[in-house]
Amino acid sequence: MTKENAYAIVQAARSAGKVTGLEIINQLFDNFFELHGDRNGTDDPAIIGGLATYHGRPVTVITTDRGTTVGQRIAKHFGSPAPGGYRKALRLIEEAAKFHRPVIALVNTAGAYPGQSAEEQGQGAAIAQNLLKISQAQTPIITLIYGEGGSGGALALACGDEVWMLEKSTYSVLSPEGFASILWKDSSRAPEAATVMKMTPQALLEQGIIEGIVEEPTDHDQTIQNIDLVLEKRLAELVQLSSEELLKRRHARYEKF
Amino acid sequence: MRLYKAKNTLSERHVQANRQADAKVPDDLWRTCPKCQRTLFAAQMDEYATCPGCGYGFRISAKQRLSWLVDSAIPMDTDLQTKDPLNFPGYAAKLAKAQEKTGLNDSVWTGHAQIDNVEFNLGIMDPTFIMGSLGTITGEKITRLFEDATKRRWPVVLFTASGGARMQEGIMSLMQMAKVSAAIAQHDAAGLMYIVVLTDPTTGGVTASFAMEGDIILSEPRALVGFAGRRVIEQTMHTEIPADLQDAENVLKHGFIDHIVARQDEKSTLAWLIKYGGKQND
């Protein structure tokens, strides 16, 4: 893959015209009933989650959200969840596990919110708890990255059984700008970094980081239909597994790295 | 001067004209929403007793709520007798009056209920029974409600409304918080669903126990939800607190309420949540 088209994917992943998590929820899921709050002092608007039915099956669905108005975007830190957002997601996943309800997580975030308040509320600790607890959650968890998969902030919602990506999405340890500035002290070399980092869906699939890629035409409806085909099939297979088999498979998934 | 002695200025005539007015206006003709101050014609209020302005649900008795909430209901533990452990002066009379008014033995109605053929155990606290305070029998009835649900493998729905612990029963009231919580923990360990609906007011020991222990915590619009009362906070801390501090909407923003549901939608929402939210593949 040439550096031009790796960076073109980075730009496409960040584009304002991307399909949003709420669009996917509204079109693919019925009776979405939002559940707010981390039960610990905050309700981070950058994470939206709740109960819904998917092809008649009850599921818990969680998405990152960047907002549409200026006010929303500021409140949502442009889609970068605060520690309370990860705590909310975790409590919803644990509740889903109690009732053996599958979880579908939709991720598009530049990364976890890096502000002072996030540090004080334990951003690192919040992500760590997700990784720890989700590894043991006894229900199928499928993640779709539908834009940027920014580092630990994305991993905290992508550490379940399978991770799928839209064609024009990325998943990386750091932004290419950050990577270039740390290693080469020159953030303008981001396009080059994008290639070196192997952060495109195809490169990630080759490394065994993700299970597959969902075709993404410019038409949102068509994209959502493609997502539906994959999700329905994968979910139907995962719900057949016993809790033991599921967790064994999940641990093996991460052991190989 | 004659002009000033005569009682015929506009204001004087106005007062005279209205002297009989009080007697002519029936009692309870108007109600004022305590949240948005809108004045309502009481006769226009339907069985849900909500404010058309802000959606606030007025305090209603357990029996009134039961009349529109479920398709059928069978009460439990109506024979339990409330005790007077401190022999508190006047308490027996106060209890008798509350029992007569509400038809309940204590501040909660409990029983088996059904909506859309979905069966569950239901508890409704009654704010008109000594402000829904948590007495020994209130705690005992809720405990038995959970124990029965655990045996039957049924979900529990509990409507909370309480001023907090029942002062007249002293430490025995406090112990109910721990007793009920232990029964909820067993119900939870059995993988069963517990849905709380917070109604106005849910405070004190009830907030600090079973009101905050649900798998799903719903609330009615603008319900007062808090731990310490406004007067206690202000007199202890010597600072004023914001008017909406303990509004359900603000409590949701701080992460403790899942969803605010209008009273009119409670029946369908609960039926859906029980059907789809509970344990799958059973």
Give me the domains of chain B, ranges plus CATH numbers. 59-277 (3.90.226.10)
**Do A99 and B278 make contact, defined as CB atoms within 8 angstroms?**
yes
Domain membership of residue A119 (yes or no) is: yes
Question: How far A27 CA lies from chain B's nearest CA (Å)?
Answer: 19
In terms of CA atoms, which chain B residue is nearest residue A54? B276
Which pLDDT band holds residue B232 (cuts at 50, 70, 90)? confident
Q: To the nearest whole percent, how much of chain B has pLDDT over 90?
A: 77
In which domain, by residue range, is A65 found? 15-173+197-250
User: Which residue among B193, B215, B276 sits closest to A53, beta carbon to beta carbon?
Assistant: B276
Q: Which residues partner with A171 through β-bridges?
A: A149
pLDDT of residue B12: 62
Residue-level pLDDT, tens digit, chain A, 257 residues:
454 589 999 999 999 999 999 999 999 999 999 999 999 999 999 999 999 999 999 999 999 999 999 999 999 999 999 999 999 999 999 999 999 999 999 999 999 999 899 999 999 999 999 999 999 999 999 999 999 999 999 999 999 999 999 999 999 999 899 899 999 999 999 999 999 999 999 999 999 999 999 999 999 999 999 999 999 999 999 999 999 999 999 999 998 88
Residues 6 or more apart from B236 whose CB is under 8 A from it? B228
Shortest Cα distance, chain A CAs vs residue B39, angstroms: 32
CA-to-CA distance for B219 and B165, rounded, in angstroms?
A: 20
Q: Is the distance from CB of A197 to CB of A179 less than 8 angstroms?
A: yes
Across the interface, do A101 and B258 touch by the CB < 8 Å criterion? no
* Residue B43: pLDDT band with limits 50, 70, 90: confident
- pLDDT value at B215 more than 50: yes
- Minimal CA separation from B89 to chain A, in Å: 40
Query: What is the C-alpha separation between B190 and B116, in angstroms, rounded?
Result: 24
Residue A92 in domain: yes
**For chain A, what is the domain count?**
1
Higher per-residue pLDDT: B22 or A54: A54
Q: How far is A137 from chain B (nearest CA, A)?
A: 14
- Contacts of residue B225, defined as CB under 8 A and 6 or more positions apart, other chains included, come to B198, B201, B202, B203, B207, B211, B219, B246, B247, B248, B251, B256, B257
- Comparing CB atoms, the residue among A33, A40, A101 nearest residue B255 is A40
A182 in a domain, yes or no?
Answer: no
Find where tokens 């229900």 sit.
A139
Q: Is the predicted pLDDT of residue B204 greater than 70, yes or no?
A: yes
A146 in Cβ contact with A109 (< 8 Å)? no
Residue A109 lies inside a defined structural domain of this protein = yes
- The Cα A30–Cα B71 span in angstroms is 25
Residue A35: closest CA among chain B residues belongs to which residue?
B258
CATH number at residue A68: 3.90.226.10
Answer for the pair A85, A47: CB distance below 8 angstroms, yes or no.
yes
Contact between A147 and A108 under an 8 Å Cβ cutoff? The reply is yes
Q: Which residue carries 């909310």 as its tokens?
A: A88
Q: Which token pair is B187? A: 């119900």
Chain A contacts of B266, Cβ < 8 Å? Answer: none
- Which of B218, B256, B265, B275 should one mutate to test binding to chain A, selecting the residue with the greatest count of A CBs within 10 A? B256
- Give domain status of residue A125, yes or no: yes
A30/A17 Cα distance (integer angstroms): 24
> Is residue B176 a contact partner of residue B146, using CB atoms and an 8 Å limit?
no
CA distance B219 to B159: 9
pLDDT of residue A3: 47
**Residue A219 falls inside a structural domain:** yes
| Chain B residues close to A35, C-beta within 8 Å | 216, 258-259
How many other β-carbons are positioned within 10 Å of the β-carbon of residue B141?
26
Per the domain annotation, does A179 fall within a domain?
no
Please tell me which of the candidates B215, B256, B259 has its beta carbon nearest to residue A33: B259
Rounded distance, CA B234 to CA B219, Å? 25
CB pairs under 8 A between A and B: 63
Torsion angle, alpha carbons of B140, B144, B147, B149, to 10: -140
Q: What is the pLDDT of residue B25?
A: 74
Q: Six-digit token pair at A126?
A: 């919040």
pLDDT of residue A83: 96
For B34-43, B93-102, B212-221, which range has the lowest pLDDT when averaged over its residues? B34-43
Q: 3-state class of A56 per DSSP?
A: coil
* Residue A180 included in any domain: no
pLDDT at B236 over 90: no
CB-closest option in A31, A41, A100 to B280: A100
Burial profile B33-42: b = 16 or more Cβ within 10 angstroms, e = fewer? bebeeeebee
**Alpha-carbon span B84 to B151, nearest angstrom:** 31
- The pLDDT, as a whole number, for residue B127 is 97
Say whether the ipTM exceeds 0.90: no
pLDDT at B57 over 50: yes
Structure tokens at A230: 């994959």
| Contact assessment for residue A231 and residue A104, using Cβ atoms and an 8 Å cutoff | yes
Measure the CA angle with vertex B14, ends B9 and B17; round to 5°.
125
Q: What is the pLDDT of residue B3?
A: 59
Segment holding A164, helix H or strand E: strand A162-166
Q: For residue A191, say if its preceding peptide bond is cis, omega within 30 degrees of 0.
A: no
